[in-house]
Amino acid sequence: MRISVFGIGYVGIANAVLLSQHNSVVAFDISPTRVDMLNQRLSPIKDAEIERFLREEKLDLGAVSDKSLVYDDPDFIVIATPTDYDEDRKFFNTESIETVIADTASFSPDSPVIIKSTVPIGFTERMRKKYPGLSIMFSPEFLREGQALYDNLYPSRIIIGDSCTGTEAAKSFAGLMLQGAKKKDTPVLFMPPTEAEAVKLFANTYLALRVAYFNELDTFAEIRGLNAKPVIEGVCLDPRIGAYYNNPSFGYGGYCLPKDTKQIQANYTDVPNDIINAIVASNNTRKSHIANMILSKRPKNVGIYKLAMKTDSDNARSSAMLDIIRQLKTEGISIIIFDPALKEKTLCDYPVLQDFEAFQKQADLIIANRITEELKPFVDKVYTRDIFSNN
């Protein structure tokens, strides 16, 4: 089959690579850099499995920045464009998705549309009413940063939001996802698109809840002088709780959790709740606590070790580190930043260093969300809440 994928972010490229194992895939992106990298079989995001597949596997995959080249009557159009949260409107910005759907209605109306981008609850039905001649479905992704292709190869579930029983187009696309996956016994669920949209947002909000919960446990342990590690281990041996997503951090960040929790919070405006609002508030409280703990050590020169919240990611979007830096700045703290992924020479008016040796010599206190091998020789001057050395 011929498939067009819009967006070469981590969701788009993970789907493009997966599907191009057995289908002809053309990926579109407005960034010429991303397009050029993909055509050279280089990954524009940090993901070991994507990098390996592009390097070693036989893929029928190309990338373009000309929209006219992706509307040649493809069998499916997959939309994986970014939907950043608009703080003023309290809503995801869905303009890029709406543009692709409008173009599809004009240039390729017989091609079923699969929305992979995260959208507000009710968005797909709204698009269906606006474009009644199009087949529009929503299929949520459950991908981790740095492991996006792996999670597509070994999916926890495949959900197609189309109808309760699944149309032929929905079943066909689910089959394509299973065809590319290595895990063949994956549960496939068909449901209306509004319910599928809710699955995505509630799943990510629950993960944010776990992060917030174990961070608050860790805050209690730090202030009361407890060792958080055996407490967490003892709690998580209960099979109803499980030993996953339990490593304390400076707060959740990244592509999904910050914006998805805010979107579900906005959807709850006229719905009674306590927990949903508390998740977002708890994350802000955690970042303030971390900043206060840093200040309590009275450092002369604070070194910020990388902005990305995960060791296998280069994504610093909505990083908790950024909020911590801003809070420290209000206190007039001297700060230097080490992050090879940053091309800027300054961030928040603070110098960005590319030389780790120079960085560690200048910093009398190093702040690291996650401990790496590079940091271990200097652990005596590292402040972190990383207990289990995982993401």
DSSP 113-138: EEE-S---TTHHHHHHHH-TTS-EEE
Which one is catalytic: 164, 236, 256, 348? 256
Q: Can you tell me the distance from the alpha carbon of 150 to that of 10, in angstroms, rounded to the nearest whole number? A: 12
164 tagged catalytic = no
Q: For residue 272, give Cα distances in angstroms to 119, 237, 277.
A: 22, 33, 10
Q: In angstroms, what is the C-alpha Rg of the chain?
A: 22
Contact 369, 386 (CB under 8 A): yes
Q: Can you tell me the distance from the alpha carbon of 331 to that of 325, in angstroms, rounded to the nearest whole number? A: 10
Contact 107, 74 (CB under 8 A): no
Q: Residue 347 pairs with which residues in a beta bridge?
A: 350
Q: For residue 311, give Cα distances in angstroms to 122, 151, 314.
A: 35, 17, 8
Sequence-separated (6 or more) residues with CB below 8 Å from residue 238: none
Helices (H), ranges, 88-190? 95-107, 123-130, 148-153, 168-180
List residues with catalytic annotation. Answer: 256
